[in-house]
Every structure is written in structure tokens, then in C-alpha cells.
Structure 1
Amino acid sequence: MAPIFDTSTQAAAAIMSRTAIIEWLTSFLPQPAAPHPAAPPWRERLRRCAGALFGIAFTGLATHAAFGAAGDIPLLVAPMGASAVLLFGVSESPLAQPWSIIGGNLVAALVGVACARWIDSTVMAASAAVALAICAMFLCRCVHPPSGAVALTAVLGGPAVHALGFHFVLAPIAFQSLALVSAALAFHALTGHRYPRAAFRPAAEAANASISAVPSTSSFALPALEPVDKPIASFEQLTCEEIMSTPCAAVPATMGTHAAREMFRRHGATALPVVDAMDRVVGMVTQHALGEMAPLAAWARWRRALLKSGARAEKTGETGARGEAKDTVAAVMAAGVHAVHRATPLAQLVPMFTEHAWHDVPVMDDARRLIGVVRHSDMIRWLHRQAGAAQPA
């Protein structure tokens, strides 16, 4: 008797197989950008591209000025382009810090030149150069992906590179690495962005530093668990007013961006609510948004200083007013922020913290005036109290 096959099962299996193949092929296509709040806006992307332009141009011109007459030093080695992507595109990465770039390129150049001189087979020399360069970078704690290309360049760079021998480590590699890092330091400082970052600080040391930076009176300093006689409301019964932090710092909408950045430094905050003259919440401003405005604000102040000098003093009023309007927190704040009423149940804030990655939610009274802010730490403090209430007396 011929075996009976379930055609519906076969058809379903075929459809699932085709779907899996289509999904696998689709994974090769460009993926849409994730709507993450930390994704840089277009202005920041343009700033980073301009940084790469400045860095490579400065490095090439500096090399030409220092070694142009010799003619045997490459004007730019290709790995510097990859280093520029890290230095200016993702400067917060541990792989983009000064020691990673300078140390990584130096040890990779040393290993590459040694392999090119002592291993006859080009393929074996190139393979050994990359592998040993990675090992050396791990030992020296200066892992830098473009340094693998530096090791390959020392092996495959041709007669001109081979003729330099170990001088290839100093010129062009060391010289161009230092020039590129110097350009990055200057560019990030001029555009108001912090560089370098403490990338290789041990985790324990970083944790201790962050703890010691918090004053003893901070809301994060929780007391020891103690039994609580008074019953505590459940999470569903809690309102924002019951656990919010007060008083809370707020930024006036008319405050200048420079003063706002100083305020952020004093409070150590990443985001603060913005209020009008009546203390009503009108928006939210982040440290990231203020950092983007730093070069524009500096340009506006410099332009106003020029216009106020000499015979142009009469024309300064209108232009200066426009410049000041663009140099305020109101110009960079995120309007339409989701502030909540003080009677709002705390459970309604959970999606804001989990799905939108917000850290602070302003709390308002009936007149929309700012009276406090609900933070992650406030919820942790409530859980701490719950744990104390759950302990036997």
C-alpha cells in the first residue's frame, strides 16, 4: 500500500522553508535605523563628518610640511582613514581613545616590519603580522582595529615601505598617529565635546569613583532596612506625588546655553525640565542637545562682539536680540515633554521608563507648575521601603 502523505503539512513546511530563506536574504539588506533616543541627529552626524575632513587634511598637510622634501615618506597611510572613522565617528568608543590609536599603531607597525624582514613568504608574513599585532595590542591594552591594516601595510606596502625598514614605525606611522590624535583633541574641544574618555579605567575603580561622587545627603544613600509599622501603599495605589524627588533643578527657557551647560555640570544631570517665568513646564533639555549647540553659541557670541564694536553699535540691537534668542535653552529643548500631574498613578510611568528610555519625568500641580520629578532612584527607594515593611518586626 502506498504511503499516505499529509499534503497540508508538506505545504506548510515548504512555506516555512521559503520564509526562512527570504528572512536570511533580507538580513543582508540595509536595516532601518532604530528609533533610539541616543542616536545622533543629522547635525551631530555632520559635525563628525567635518571632524574627519579636518583630521585627515591636517594629518596630510603636516606630513607634507615635515617630510615633503624627502619624497620617500607616504603622504597618508590608508589605516589613518579607518582611525579617523573611530576618532570622529564614534569618539566615545574605548577603541577610539588616544592610547588605543597611538599605542596600537606603533606596536602593529613594529610587528609588521619585523615579520616583513624575517619571514620570506608574503602570505605567511602578512598572516603572522596581523595575528601577532592583535596579541601585542591585547598585552599593551591598546586594541585598535585599524592597526591590523598598519601591520598589513608594513608587509604589503611595496618597495618604498620596505626600504624604510623600522623607520616606518616613526615616520609615517607615529607621526601621523600623533597628528591625527592632536587634530581630534582640538576639534572636539572647539565643538564642545568631551574627548578623550576614560575608556580603560577598571570597573571597580569607576564604581568607587561614582559612589564617592555622590554626597551623603543624596537620595541614593539609602538607610538600612528597618521594620515599618505603618502599612505602605501598593505599587498600583501609589501616585507620583508620593515618591517624587523635591526640590528638583529646572532650567529657565530664557537661560543661555552656556549657563545651562554650567548648570548641568553642577548637578551632574543628563536631562532637566525647562520652565517658563511662571514655573510651568514647557519642555525638556538634554546635555547632548546643549553640546551640539556649543559651536553655534560660540559663533553667535563672537559675531555679536564684532558687531558691537566701532561704528556698527547702532545696528547691534536687532541682530544681537536675534542671536540671544537662538542662544537660549528654548531653542534646543525638546517641546511636548510628557510631564505628569501629581495625582497620576505611578504605574503609568512604567512604559515611559522602559519603552522610551526616559530617566526623569517632571511632576506638575493643577497650574502646570513644576513641583518635583520622578526618577528611577525614587522607584528603587520605594522598593527599599517595601523590603523593610516586609521584614518581621
Structure 2
Amino acid sequence: MSSTKAWLRSFWPAPMAISKSQQAVSCLGAFFGLSFTAWFCHSVLGASSLWLIAPMGASAVLLFAVPSSPLAQPWSILGGCVVSALVGVSCARWLGHSGWVAGLAGGLAIGLMFALRCLHPPGGAVALSAVLAGEPVAQLGYHFVVFPVAINAAAMLLIALLFNNLLQRRYPHRASDHHNPHKTIDALPRDRVGFTPDDLDAVLNARGELLDIARDDLEEILRQTEERAYRRRFGEIRCGDIMSEDVLSVGAQTSVSAALTIMLEHRLSALPVINQSKQLQGMLSLHDVVATADVQGTCESIMQRHVLTCKSDWPVSYLLESLGSSVEHRMPVLGENKVLLGIVTQTDLVAALYRSALERAG
């Protein structure tokens, strides 16, 4: 009886972890995408022709509601729709318009989309439409592949590119760069302990089924889960708890030679550059000095302006990712209005984690 109840409960929809704002954005994107496609294709093809096909509604769900899905990428929608239309039209022309032909077209379309790495669920509907949509599609023949299928798909993709990027959604979805910033063959520090990308690939290959999530997204979710579990287990040590507060710094107009003297005297590899209000302007490193070989100029001319920073109340687990996968070995800690409060280094982080482990062991 309990197994029957569990089976019945599986029909109940699981909660969707998506914010109300993203739900609204998805609806708005689908409205713009379908409206533009309808207007554009009607203008180009005219009212007497088939100018918008129903599978575009399903494409809108993917392009605007789940744009990070592998099934929603540009090649997926273009290749998937065009290939499926070719299959559907061919099956209808040579085998007729019966139900079994529609099933054959759908199966062949899926097979080709797998082979060409352009799996797009609405493609199955496109193949069926080519077989069962009736006389208007039959008269178009292979023209159906271009007008309206390819035109519809291209118009939808154009709006998806503009809309998603305007709202700072990562589309097309690109894999995150996890290469060693030092350009050596060593794995990133975070990949040397715990699960590795190879472990994840092995598990995915063993499962042998398609997951509707990009591999790098899945890896990032797992790593953030590890980080959250770490914070729960070891407590919340904050960046402000371990930072160095007596920080040497220079001004933007300080000469590079003067800054170099400070770094050599105090055995520092970098210095924060601040203004009179102690607001961070950038970071000057020995690498910057050596790379330019210009000690007569000012710090402002060679400093790095885009600097990784943190807040004093942020958990140190944030530093594990940031300091462990970049060339930076230190991070400025900022207060209100970008005022420099201190510096956290890799050494500070290691010491804090070591002390936390000793306290738990004791």
C-alpha cells in the first residue's frame, strides 16, 4: 500500500525553484518572441501563406523560460527545426500522410537530431506537422522547410538573443572557463580535493541518459552545495575576522619606483591603490611593474582597475573559490562606498581553516 501511495505521489508536481521575477521575465520574453515572429513572417510571407507554425510556441518555452537548457541553444532550435522539417516532408512525399508515417517521421527526426547534436523537442512536432498538417503543407513540399520553418526559427532566435542578453542572461549558454590561470597542466586547487570534473564525467557517462542541464551548470550546483554544507559544518567565519587591518597602500599618483621600494622593503607582492578617502582605486602588483618596466610613471598608469573584492561580513567560503581558481593571492575587504578595510590573503585563509579544524577536533 505504501508503495502505491508513493507511486501516486510521484504524479504531484515538484515545486519549481524559480523566482517570481524570472517567471514574469519568461512570460514577457515569450510574448515578444512569438509576437515578433508572427508579425515578421506575416509581413514576409503574406496572409495567403502558412506564416507561423504551432511548434514555435514550444520553442518559446525553451528559449525564454529555460535559456540555459542544452535543448534551447541556437544550433538546437535552428538545426532541430530544419532537420525535422526535412524528415517530415520527405516521409510525407514518399510514404503518404497516415498516422504510422507521422510516427516514423518523429522517430527519424529524433535520431537525426541526436546525431547532429541539435536535439530540440519542438522538432518532433515540426516533423508531425509536415506529415499531418494537411493540404497547405503538402502543397508547399520542401519549401515548407524554409518558409515558414527556418524563417520562424530564425526570428525566434533573434529575439531570444536580444532579449536574454539585454536582461544579462547568459545566452547562448557558454561553458565556464575552469582552466588553470597559471597556464600549467595542474588542476585548479579546488579540483584536487573532493570530486573532480573527470569524476562528474564518469558518472554522467555511466548513467547514459540525457539530462536537461548543461554539464558546467551541474558542476557549479554541486560545488555550491559542497560550499553550503561546509559552512553548515564548520560555522560562519567571516572575511572581517581574518583580514589584516594594518594595510600598506599607495595613492594613484605615487611613482612606481616609490611603490616598488615599499613592496621590496616589506616583502609584499602587491599594494592597494587608494584615494584620499581611502576608497579602493585598484591594485598594483610586482607583475605589473615587471611587465611594464616603467618605474618612472605613476601607479595609476599600470595598476589593475578590475579587482576581486569582498565585504567584511561575507563568509570565508567565498574566498575558497575566488582565491583558489585565479591568479590573485589576496583580496581587498571593502566597507561602505568602497572604503578599504583590510586585506585577506591565501595565508590568512589557510590559517583560519586550520584553526577551525583544530577547534573541532578538540
TM-score range, shorter chain: 0.5 to 0.7
Question: Would you say 1:148 and 2:138 are equivalent positions?
Answer: no
- Report whether the alignment pairs 1:86 with 2:62: yes
Let me know the Cα RMSD of the aligned residues. Answer: 4.5
1:143–1:266 CA distance, 2 compared to 1 (3 A) = farther
Checking the alignment, whether the CA contact within 8 Å between 2:37 and 2:152 is kept in structure 1 is yes
Q: Is the 8 A contact 2:82 2:145 kept in 1?
A: yes
Q: In the TM superposition, what whole-angstrom CA distance separates every residue of 1:280-300 from its partner, at most 9, and x where no partner exists?
A: x4xxxxxxxxxxxxxxxxxxx
Cross-structure match for 2:297: none
> How many positions carry a matched residue from both structures?
238
Taking the aligned partners of 1:268 and 1:171, their CA distance within structure 2 comes to 50
Is residue 2:24 matched to residue 1:46? yes
What is the match of residue 96 of structure 2?
120
Q: 1:241 to 1:117 in 2, by over 3 A?
A: closer
Deviation of residue 189 (structure 1)?
2.7
2:144 maps to which of 159, 165, 168: 168
Kindly provide the CA deviation profile for residues 106-130 of structure 1, in whole angstroms up to 9, marking residues without a partner as x. Answer: 0000001001111136122112111
Separation of aligned partners in 2, 1:187 and 1:64: 21
TM-score in terms of structure 1 length: 0.50
Question: Out of 148, 155, 177, which is 1:179 matched to?
Answer: 155
In the alignment, what sits opposite 1:58? 36
Whether the aligned pair in 1 keeps the contact of 2:178 and 2:188 (CA below 8 Å) is no
Corresponding letter in the other structure for 1:156: L
Q: Quick one: structure 1 residues 268 and 149, their matched pair in 2 at CA, closer, same or farther if it must change by over 3 Å?
A: farther
- 3-state DSSP of counterpart to 2:168: coil
| Equivalent pair of 1:154/1:161 in contact (CA under 8 Å) | yes
1:220 CA drift (Å): 5.3
CA-to-aligned-CA distance 1:230-279 (integer Å, 9 cap, x gap): xxxxx98xx7789968799xxxxx99xxxxxxxxx94579xx53xxxxxx
Q: RCO greater where, 1 or 2, for CA within 8 Å and sep 6 or more?
A: 1
Q: Percent of aligned pairs with the same residue?
A: 40
Name 1:315's counterpart in structure 2: none
Structure 2: distance between partners of 1:240 and 1:72? 64
User: Residue 32 of structure 1 aligns with which residue?
Assistant: 15
Decide which of 58, 71, 77 is 1:101's aligned counterpart.
Answer: 77
In the alignment, the residues of structure 1 paired with residue 10 and residue 243 of structure 2 have an alpha-carbon distance, to the nearest angstrom, of 45
In the TM superposition, what is the alpha-carbon distance from 1:178 to its structure 2 partner? 0.4
Does the 8 A contact of 2:240 with 2:333 survive in 1? no
Q: Structure 2: how far apart are the matches of 1:58 and 1:119?
A: 35
| Alignment CA distance shift 1:191-1:168 (3 Å) | same
Return closer, same or farther for 1:21/1:167 CA change in 2, 3 Å cut-off.
Answer: same
User: Structure 1's 79 and 121: CA in aligned 2 closer, same or farther, altered over 3 A?
Assistant: closer
> What SS does structure 2 have at the residue aligned with 1:115?
helix
* Paired position in structure 1 for 2:49: 72
TM-score (norm 2): 0.54
Judged with a 3 Å threshold, the aligned counterparts in structure 2 of structure 1 residues 76 and 23 are, in CA distance, closer, same or farther, namely same
Question: 1:42, CA displacement in angstroms?
Answer: 1.2
Displacement of 1:165: 0.3
- For 1:24, give the aligned amino acid: W
